[in-house]
Structure 1
Amino acid sequence: MGRAAERVYTDRASIQQLESLVEELPANGHVVLLLKDGSSCDGVVVTRPNVQMFRDADEREGINATVRLERPDVPEWSQQVWLDQIVRVEHLDSSMASEN
């Protein structure tokens, strides 16, 4: 397996939290992600993330996922964010904001 992650999860609660975040990150959705370290980033979700199997530094296998954000107004900018580092998702586009 070639997928490495700093953190992986095997407990049901953590996996459900990751899956819940996946549902909040639709393809082409404009979002602001508030992160555990207190920072935030905003952009458009390139594709809806999928939880996947990864291995951590200790070769422990578990679940995690990433989301890639881009900004149409800054074509050279993109950011990959691990879902387990997201505290909250704020939707800036009206379609998802009205569902929440």
Structure 2
Amino acid sequence: MGRRAPRVHTSQDSIAHLNALQFGLDSELLVELQMRDGRTLIGTVVERPAVQLFLDPQDNEGSNGQVALDISGTGIQLLWLDEIAGFSRLGTS
């Protein structure tokens, strides 16, 4: 496996959170993301994210994923799913 992530998750609770984000963040959905660091981001989901297996910097295997968010005036940002605390659906673009 060649895919790397800054963090990986193996607990059932963490993976359930990642999966809930995966299934909730539909393509072309306008969302408000509440980030774990306190930021709030508003944008359009470019493509539904996928939860995948990655290696972390210590070569531990676990799950994470990324979502591409198109933020008006900023462009597309790739965000790690585990950085997202929650989200609100604002509609479709």
**TM-score in terms of structure 1 length:** 0.85
Partner residue of 2:65? 65
How many residues in Structure 1 have an aligned counterpart in Structure 2?
92
Question: Going by fraction, where is strand more abundant, 1 or 2?
Answer: 2
Give aligned-pair identity as a percent. Answer: 39
> Please, which runs of 5 or more residues in structure 2 have no aligned partner?
none
Aligned residue type for 1:89: F
Residues in 2 aligned to 1:12 and 1:88: alpha-carbon distance in whole angstroms = 17
Q: Match for 1:77 among 72, 75, 79?
A: 75
Aligned residue type for 2:25: L
Residues in 2 aligned to 1:63 and 1:80: alpha-carbon distance in whole angstroms = 16
SS of residue in 1 equivalent to 2:8: coil
Residues in 1 aligned to 2:76 and 2:42: alpha-carbon distance in whole angstroms = 10
Residues in 1 aligned to 2:47 and 2:78: alpha-carbon distance in whole angstroms = 12
Query: How many Å apart are 1:84 and its aligned residue?
Result: 0.7
> Please, which runs of 5 or more residues in structure 1 have no aligned partner?
95-100
Q: Match for 1:91 among 85, 89, 92?
A: 89
